[in-house]
Amino acid sequence: MMNRLLVILILALTMCPLAQAAEPANKPAVSTQNGSVMAQPAAAAQSVPSAGAAAVATVAPIKSPAPLAKEVKSNKVITISMFMAIIFVTGVIVVRASKSNKTAADFYTAGGGISGFQNGWAIAGDYLSAATFLGIAGLTSMFGADGFMYTVGPFFSFVTILLIIAEPCRNAGKYTLGDILSLRSSSKVVRGTAAISAVVVSTFYLLGQMVGAGKLMQLLLGIPYNVSVVGVGTLMIVYVTFGGMKATTWVQIIKAFLLMLSGLALTVLLLWKFGFNMLAFYDAVALSPTIQEHVRGLMKHVAPVSGFDYGQRFLESGLLLKDPLDQISLGIAFAIGAAGLPHIMMRFFTVPDAKAARKSVVISMVLIGIFMLMVTIIGFGAALYITPQQIMAVDKGGNMAAPMIAQYLGGGVGSISGDLLMAFVCAVAFSTIIAVVSGLILAVSAAVAHDFYVNIIKDGKSDQRQQVKVAKIAAVVVGGIAILLGIACEKQNIAHLVVLAFAVVASSNFPVILFSLFWKRFNAGGIVSGLTFGALFAIGVVLVSPTMTYPKKIAADAKKIVDVMEKKQLAGAVLSEKEVKTLEKARSDYSSNKDGKSMVGLDAPLFPLKNPAILSVPVGFLAAIFGTFLFGSRREEEMFDELFIRQNTGYNISEASDH
């Protein structure tokens, strides 16, 4: 009954702005986020060419909003009501699920009783994080086609999962990554290393969610960022400790449904303005003066270059990932990174058999692929109507692009429908954070309780009640760490944070999982060396890459602007008010950064790419191979036959599920 009421409420909210979008498109102006007037594209006021027409509609310029608003104006009553509704519904789920958590299997994997269809939606809910919805929409609104790179990669990662990981992992019939790796080795070092790897990777992934939660609460409700992060983290700890995997699964399913619904609503509203003509939509993006000006700033062209099409450049890759090798590196991280994420792997242990595991992957692939396409359109739409300048004025990471375009499409600041749609989108983003953080904390608590406590400290001799108790304590500790790190990473774009987690997983977890399942000679030495060197090398490369802040680079860029402006003054030209402010800021940036160094004491990056995967993944594979040859084990090699039979047939799976 609760689910039906929720669906009715959401449909009512989405139909309100849809009805407004159906009004004649030739309205003279629409209010923007800061209350200024912005002209509609002419394509929306004309009859749009049919899909088969070769011509593209001419689009009138869209004026830049001035002055830029520094905050999002929202109806706090509506927004708080939406947030409370999400908390209430998920809270009811947690309370009901807590009554059925009697064993460790119930707490970790819902007793293996989740169907393939349910698990597919849950995986989509687990994977489509705040970084996907808020971060990627923000990246697309600021860097155009480069944001699309962040949407394509995750989809292909599930091909890897489907073909290589899903069925063997399910047939292993365990709870954690450590269980799979320990099937061939009884070494406690393997258990410990696998658990540490799960904690480190999940922590990186957690950061993106915590930052997104803090930003949402801060920008929409006026709650201080630190207080927001603490509140959200505390709520997640309560959810995990009481609800376990069953509650987490249903929260993820509901969240995935809401996410698809909100993405569909925003996409339809955007394309409606252009008669669902994608050519007209992207033509409007390319012809936008504010986008062209933004691209000129990204390319550091102080003066416009004659004949250069800045609008078209926004629709091409390379504004964020300027080096093609960087794009390849990002693709590698995404393509194999998801296959080793602990909270994704854990989902395959919740279904009854390998067939259900495969079905769940296919369903999640379809859902994720559709949503990624919608997020791209939403990001471009935010750049067109809100402008990159306005989005960055509110939040430098661009994380508020999706809520801002939702408010605009609903009718603008101050309109009931606009505030409703914005509140709905923000509540969905909040539910996204709830679902993903719950899954991550559960995965980490399982690694700590099951791998460290039960199999290392207690040598596998621990009763069910004690194991669940330790898992709940671990959830509290991990949640506390996530809160502290979330506060420290306030200024970071959440998509960047999650990509770092993918790179670490692709360089450490994936090589050892692949070799454990399919290489007969692989052993404990290869597992430990692959996990350790792969992860440390990936993190080390990031610390010396352009991802870090280099004050002297900032100073050098500022000096170029100062030189150009001062040269213009010496030539007798009078600077405009905007140019004067640019000059003053450049002088300030130069003065405050000219003697600074990066976090690790560097003046400039040693590694030229922003993503380390192209270098760290081969190192992870090589480390696993060398470790195997250096520390050979005849017994572990002989254990491969048992593992091979189990992963292909599911033999002995019932005993494994009670492990």
pLDDT tens by residue, 311-336? 899 988 888 877 888 888 888 888 88
pLDDT higher at 322 or 53: 322
On average, the pLDDT of the chain sits at 77
Q: Which of 96-110, 246-260, 506-520 has the lowest mean pLDDT?
A: 96-110
> Model confidence at 25, in pLDDT bands (50, 70, 90)?
very low
Q: Please tell me the distance from the alpha carbon of residue 97 to that of residue 26, in angstroms, as a whole number.
A: 51
Q: What is the pLDDT of residues 201-242, one digit of tens each?
A: 887 777 777 777 777 777 667 788 888 888 888 887 887 777
Which of 602-640 are b and which e, b meaning 16 or more Cβ less than 10 Å from the residue's Cβ? Answer: eeebebebbbbbbbbbebbbbbbbebbeeeebeebbebb
pLDDT higher at 33 or 106: 106
Q: Please tell me the distance from the alpha carbon of residue 269 to that of residue 266, in angstroms, as a whole number.
A: 5
> Model confidence at 272, in pLDDT bands (50, 70, 90)?
very high
> Model confidence at 196, in pLDDT bands (50, 70, 90)?
confident
Question: So where are the chain's domains?
Answer: 76-491, 556-593
Q: Which of 46, 16, 618, 71 is nearest to 391 (CA)?
A: 71
Q: Has residue 380 got a pLDDT over 50? A: yes
Both structure tokens of 25:
């498109």
Q: How many C-beta atoms surround the C-beta of residue 189 within 10 A?
A: 13
Q: What is the DSSP letter of 69?
A: P
If you search the block for the tokens 């008010």, which residue do you land on?
Answer: 577
Q: Please tell me the distance from the alpha carbon of residue 616 to that of residue 619, in angstroms, as a whole number.
A: 5
Percent of the chain scoring above 90 in pLDDT:
12
- Whole-number Cα distances in Å, 112 to 9, 218, 414, 619: 32, 39, 48, 36
Q: What is the DSSP letter of 284?
A: H
> Model confidence at 485, in pLDDT bands (50, 70, 90)?
confident
Predicted pLDDT at 33: 36
Q: Which of 111-125, 207-221, 420-434 has the lowest mean pLDDT?
A: 207-221
Q: Please tell me the distance from the alpha carbon of residue 19 to that of residue 22, in angstroms, as a whole number.
A: 5
Predicted pLDDT at 230: 86
Predicted pLDDT at 67: 65
| Highest mean pLDDT pick, 30-34, 284-288, 439-443 | 284-288
> Which CATH number, 1.10.287.3510, 3.90.226.10, 3.40.190.10, 1.20.1730.10, labels domain 76-491?
1.20.1730.10
Q: How many C-beta atoms surround the C-beta of residue 340 within 10 A?
A: 29
Q: Has residue 535 got a pLDDT over 50? A: yes
